[in-house]
Amino acid sequence: MDKNKVLELVKIESDPAFGDERERSIKDRSFYWVFITMAVCVALFGIIRVSKGENAYEMGVTLTLPSAAGFLYRFVKDRKPVDLVCCLMMTAAAAVQLAAYIRHFG
């Protein structure tokens, strides 16, 4: 790398909006806890709906489709095949649940 490129990278990384590594790590972990909380809520409300004789297909789509998007983002950034496999599995699960929802109300 030439001197100008190094100086440009240092300038970008020193920008307060860019944040330090600790801040980025905290932000990444916060999304983990958001997902866990969302999964627990979907599971609880899904159990309640099913116990009342209602379906909960849209709740499954609400959980699996964002998961697929997260795995797709990871695959695009890291190119790890496991992320692509997980993305495809979550997308398939969302498609099945969405089809069941449409069939039920269609």
Query: Which pLDDT value is given to residue 10?
Result: 66
CA distance 36 to 34: 6
Average pLDDT over residues 5-9: 72
Global pTM value: 0.69
Q: What share of the chain is helix, strand, coil (3-state, %, to 5)?
A: 85, 0, 15
Give residue-wise pLDDT tens across range 38-94: 999 999 999 999 999 999 999 999 999 999 999 999 999 999 999 999 999 999 999
